[in-house]
Structure formats: structure tokens, C-alpha cells
Amino acid sequence: MPLLDLTASAADITRAICDIPSVSGDEAALADAVVAALSEYDHLEIIRDGDTIVARTSLGRDRRVIIAGHLDTVPINNNLPSELREIDGESVIWGRGTVDMKAGVAVQLKLAVDLVAPMVDITWIWYDHEEVDSSLNGLGRLAGNQPDLMAGDFAILGEPTAGEIEGGCNGTLRAVVRTHGVRAHSARAWVGENAIHAAAPVLARLSEYRPKEVTVEGLAYREGLNAVRIGGGVAGNVIPDLCEVEVNYRYAPDKSPEQAVAHIRNVFAGFEIEIVDLSAGARPGLDAELAQEFLAATGARPKPKYGWTDVARFSALGVPAVNYGPGDPSLAHHDQERVPVAQIETVEAGLRAWLS
């Protein structure tokens, strides 16, 4: 098993955990390494649920903060092992997971072992399966198996925010839009019906769609509607009888999941639609007392979070939650994913200042 040295800098820990690949479903090696590294520290109680790890202080403080991050990444695309690069005079760590979200996890791991006596009790959570279907999400599984471990007064998720504080999140919906046809030999196409040709209006509606920007509690949420998968075809000489277009709708937190479904049914009116994934967004939640203290201590500027994040799970449990982590979220899942070393240090300093 690779050894993790949590006394190293957060930047070095970032590289070390990026170089243990952990594409969703394959987090065990990284989770093992994290548990092994943490087990040397007596001030933390460690609980493991699958590849989700909980580490808690029990100092009898009157408030408890949850600080969480996911261990998994989207698939690697020729962008590992990590590299330390100099771009426009700035040191960056390049590679899959640097932004989403191993730099954030590295800061958390370092502070978890450093902060022996924080001003609040802390529950650290590192979890699996964030980048895939929400039914597999490790935090969701933990909420079902051991909900007491997720109790607290405030939660911070280390998703990339470029060192700003991002409130709430967009909701997300995935749907499969299907067209049907009739198979026939492609030499006599006129006796069949081509299901791929029938999907032409689906792609036309997607390419013509103009996403909205919606203001919620003073923060402007940008929406999006995209095809994420398309498939169809039987053989090179057969008119295809089925075409499937999977779309992902990211919707502002002014809408309920039901309203999001209604919108998609409207956009693709006339087509067969199956909703395959649906998660509510979260309102910003920056009016909570600990959120206000946290904003003041870090001096960071509140912004909207575009991506769906697990703040919505805390929000649903009644725990106000924000996103705060290093990395430009525009580079999440990008082939050129990379995080400035300075941002890792800023986020580490911000959290340390507030928690000490």
C-alpha cells in the first residue's frame, strides 16, 4: 500500500493522492492509504463505511462543524501522473483530480491531523462515488446507514471554488430521450424507419437551447442543458430501430425537482423521456450564524455554486452548508485540470485561521 505522509505540505499531499488513481468505483487503494495514515493520530476517532471514512474530534465543544470531500475522480484521460508546472509565473499542480477535488481533500487531511484542539468539534468525512449516479454516492449511503455521523451545526464541502465561498448549488437531472424506428436492410431503407434520423430534432433542440441565469437570494445561478451520451445502431447494413440521447439539465435552486422534470418534458415534447437521475439543488444558506462567522474570518466573497454538490444532502438534513476549496471549477473534469499551489495554501490558511 502507498504510504501517505500527512506532515508534508498540502501541495505535496495533493500530488501524492492524485498519483493514487481513484476513478469512481475504484477508491479502495486511496481509502486504505488514508485510513492507514490517520490511524497514527489519537485525537481522531476513525469510522469506515465501504470506502467512506469519518474522522471526528470529541472535545465537548458546544458546536460541531462537518468538513467533507470526495475521494473519487472522473475517468483519467492521459492526465496522470500529476506534474508540477510553471504557467505564467505561477506554480500549478496539473493532472486528473487536482481540481475536483483532491487538493481540497489534501488540505482537509493536513488540518485533520494538525488541529488537535480546534474551537469547534469537527467531523471530517471523505467519501466515494461522488462522480457517478447519485444512488451510489458514499455520503448518501452514510446518511442512510449512520445519520448521527452527519449531525452538526454547519458544513463545509471542499469542492473547488477557487478559494471563494460558494453558497448553495444547482440541481441536476439526467434523462434519456428515445426515438424508435423499424429495422430493415439498409439497401431498402424505405421499408424501415430510421430511429437515428428521428433524433435529428432532439439534437437540434439541444444545440438551439439558450440556458437561463436565475438570481436566488442575491446570487446568480447559471443553468445548462447538454447531451452527455448518444447511442444507436445494430449493424453496418441495418436501419436502426432505437436511438437514445442522454441529457443532463443543471437547474437553479429556485426550481423544485418536479419543476425541472416539467421543463424537460416541455423541451422534448413529443419524444419518449425517461428520468434516470434527479437531485434537488440547495439555496445559498449564507444567513446561518456559523456561515456568517466563517465569511468574516476568511474575508472570502460569497458566490453562487453552479455545479450540483453534496451541500444539497446537508441542506436536506437541515445543516447549512457551503462550498470552499482550491481550484478553478471551470477546470473540473477538463483534460487540462490543474490547481495553483498558492490557492491550496490560501484555503489551508483560511480554514486554519477560523478553526484554531
In the complex, the smallest distance separating the C-beta of residue 220 from a second copy, rounded to whole angstroms, is 14
25 binds a second copy (CB under 8 A): no
Residue 151 C-alpha cell reads as 449531525
Radius of gyration for the chain, computed over Cα atoms and rounded to the nearest angstrom: 22
Q: Which is nearer to a second copy, 207 or 266 (CB)?
A: 207
Instruction: State yes or no: is 130 an active-site residue.
Output: yes
110 binds a second copy (CB under 8 A): no
Distance of alpha carbon 152 from alpha carbon 322, whole angstroms: 13
In the complex, the smallest distance separating the C-beta of residue 310 from a second copy, rounded to whole angstroms, is 13
Pairing of strands 165-167, 302-304: parallel
Stretch that binds a second copy, among 56-64, 112-120, 316-324, 333-341 (CB under 8 A): 333-341
Residues 203-262 that bind a second copy (CB under 8 A): 203-204, 206-207, 211, 222, 224, 226-241, 243, 245-246, 248, 250
Instruction: State yes or no: is 72 an active-site residue.
Output: yes
In the complex, the smallest distance separating the C-beta of residue 21 from a second copy, rounded to whole angstroms, is 15
303 binds a second copy (CB under 8 A): no
Other CB atoms within 10 Å distance of the CB of residue 218? 10
Residues 74-93 that bind a second copy (CB under 8 A): 74-75, 77
Distance of alpha carbon 338 from alpha carbon 46, whole angstroms: 31
Q: Are 65 and 120 in contact (CB under 8 A)?
A: yes
**Residues written for the chain:** 356
Q: DSSP characters for 84-148?
A: EEEETTEEEEESTTIIIIIHHHHHHHHHHHH-SS-SSEEEEEEES--SS-GGG-HHHHHHHH-GG
Place of cell 504557467: 87
Catalytic residue chosen out of the listed positions 27, 49, 51, 72: 72
| Interacting residue ranges for a second copy, rule: CB under 8 A | 74-75, 77, 100, 131-133, 170, 172, 174, 182-192, 194, 196-200, 203-204, 206-207, 211, 222, 224, 226-241, 243, 245-246, 248, 250, 277, 306-308, 329-335
Q: Which residues are catalytic?
A: 72, 130
